[in-house]
């Protein structure tokens, strides 16, 4: 059920160390403030290529990144959050969005095709056909025997090849964690208009653990820890997308603001000053990253 507290246990955050909780928040901050820089750069026409923003959805990637660090990563087209929270270079991402040769794909691929293969991170680039990363991730797990995460959206969940690939992973008992980032929207068409069935129930019918949760990061982490003990497994995470499918536009106020909710929970747990410090530091870091003078130099402006 699509609610901000769906499947969230009372006091779940207390099951995790303060250090871990603050790390999750720090990574959420990183995405949020990086993307504020993107929006500013788009408004100033410094970024003229399409951007696929993650703000509003970043809690899931932040939680996952603390638990499944050595997995092969097959993320979807909207993956700034995965890229940044798993520790890939913000500078290289900024340059990719600007179309610079110092970008993570030399500026050739852009926002929806992010890859990163440094510092122990194996993130394979998406090429824009939604759900294509799922069979590829399954094939990579088959070919390498390595643990793999496939992250895709609720629209991709409807692609026949996504369902077939999950079925294949079940047959071959491959070590794949499937994560559906369910923002309820394919462009602007809600799930209930597109289908009458639940992806979680379908995956469960394949015979593997599958669960619906909201994007409370402690809840995501709790289930990730449990389900990764016996892969393959599937988690459908309800999230809210703050911006348009592509671009920086906004239609409505999101149903909930997870970023604010996490902040409030951390304040309740006694971390008010620490999270202010974290936010301040990340804000400063990202302002430097998007500093106009530095930024415009390589563009020759």
Partner 1 sequence: MGQRTVAETIREISRKHLEENNGILLGECISAVGWVNNTVPNCKGIVELPMTDVAGAGIAVGAAMVGRRPIFVIRFQDFLSLNGSPLINYAAKSKDLHGWSTPIFIRALASEGLGPVHSGVLHSVFMHFPGFRVVSPMTPREYDKVWQEFMKYDDPMIVSEHRESFQNSEEMADVVNDTADITLFAISSPRFAVEEAAKMLLKKGITCNIVHIFRLKPFDVQERYLEPLRRSKLGLVIDASFEICGASRSIAYELTHASGYPVKALGLLDRTKCLCPPYQNKAPDTRQIYDTVRNILK
**Shortest Cβ 105–partner 1 spacing (Å):** 5
Sheet holding 148-153, edge to edge: 122-124, 72-74, 148-153, 176-182, 233-238, 210-214
Nearest Cα residue to 180 out of 150, 221, 217: 150
Q: What angle do CA 265, 266, 270 make, to 5 degrees?
A: 115
| Residue with Cβ nearer partner 1 (60 or 73) | 73
User: Binding string, 100-129, against partner 1, x = CB under 8 A?
Assistant: -----xx-xx---x-x-x------xx-xxx
| Residue with Cβ nearer partner 1 (4 or 167) | 167
**Shortest Cβ 142–partner 1 spacing (Å):** 6
Q: Rounded to whole angstroms, how far apart are CA atoms 195 and 23?
A: 37
CA atoms in the 13 A half-sphere facing the CB of 167: 10
Which listed range, 21-29, 52-60, 165-173, 283-291, lies at the site for partner 1 (CB under 8 A)? 165-173
User: Binding string, 221-260, against partner 1, x = CB under 8 A?
Assistant: ----------------------------------------
Is residue 151 near partner 1 by the rule CB under 8 A? no
Token readout for 208 is 């593997």
What's 48's DSSP letter?
A: -
Q: Using CB under 8 A, which of 54, 68, 140, 221 touches partner 1?
A: 140
Q: Rounded to whole angstroms, how far apart are CA atoms 286 and 69?
A: 23
| Residue with Cβ nearer partner 1 (12 or 170) | 170
Beta-bridged to residue 212, according to DSSP, are: 236
| Residue with Cβ nearer partner 1 (178 or 218) | 178
Asked whether 27 and 279 are in contact (CB, 8 A), the reply is no
Is residue 203 near partner 1 by the rule CB under 8 A? no
Going 64 to 65 to 69 to 71, the CA torsion angle's sign is positive
Q: Using CB under 8 A, which of 162, 191, 231, 286 touches partner 1?
A: 162
User: How many chain residues touch partner 1 (CB under 8 A)?
Assistant: 35
Question: Coil, strand, or helix at residue 72?
Answer: strand
Q: Using CB under 8 A, which of 48, 70, 164, 264 touches partner 1?
A: 164
Binding site for partner 1 (CB under 8 A): 72, 74, 105-106, 108-109, 113, 115, 117, 124-125, 127-129, 132, 134-144, 146, 160-162, 164-165, 167-168, 171
């Amino acid at each position: 059920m699509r609610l901000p507290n769906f499947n969230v246990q009372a006091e779940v955050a207390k099951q995790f160390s303060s250090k871990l909780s603050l790390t999750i928040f720090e990574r959420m901050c990183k995405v949020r403030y990086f993307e504020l820089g993107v929006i500013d750069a788009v408004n100033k026409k410094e970024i003229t290529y399409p951007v696929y923003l993650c703000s509003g959805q970043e809690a899931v990637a932040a939680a996952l990144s603390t638990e499944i660090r050595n997995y092969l990563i097959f993320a979807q087209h909207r993956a700034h959050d995965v890229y940044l929270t798993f520790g890939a270079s913000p500078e290289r991402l900024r340059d990719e969005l600007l179309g610079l040769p110092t970008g993570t794909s030399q500026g050739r691929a852009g926002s929806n095709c992010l890859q990163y293969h440094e510092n122990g991170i194996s993130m394979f680039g998406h090429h824009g056909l939604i759900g294509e990363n799922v069979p590829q991730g399954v094939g990579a797990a088959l070919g390498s025997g390595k643990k793999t995460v496939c992250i895709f959206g609720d629209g991709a969940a409807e692609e026949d090849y996504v369902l077939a690939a999950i079925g294949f992973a079940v047959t071959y008992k491959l070590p794949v964690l499937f994560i559906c980032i369910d923002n309820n929207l394919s462009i602007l068409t809600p799930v209930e208009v597109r289908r009458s069935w639940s992806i979680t129930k379908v995956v469960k019918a394949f015979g593997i653990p599958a669960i619906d949760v909201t994007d409370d990061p402690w809840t995501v982490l709790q289930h990730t820890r449990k389900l990764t003990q016996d892969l393959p497994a599937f988690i459908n995470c309800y999230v809210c997308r703050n911006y348009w499918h592509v671009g920086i536009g906004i239609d409505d106020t999101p149903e909930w603001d997870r970023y604010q909710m996490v902040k409030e929970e951390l304040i309740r747990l006694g971390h008010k000053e620490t999270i202010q410090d974290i936010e301040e530091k990340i804000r400063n870091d990202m302002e430097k990253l998007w500093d106009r003078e530095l930024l415009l130099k390589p563009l020759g402006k």
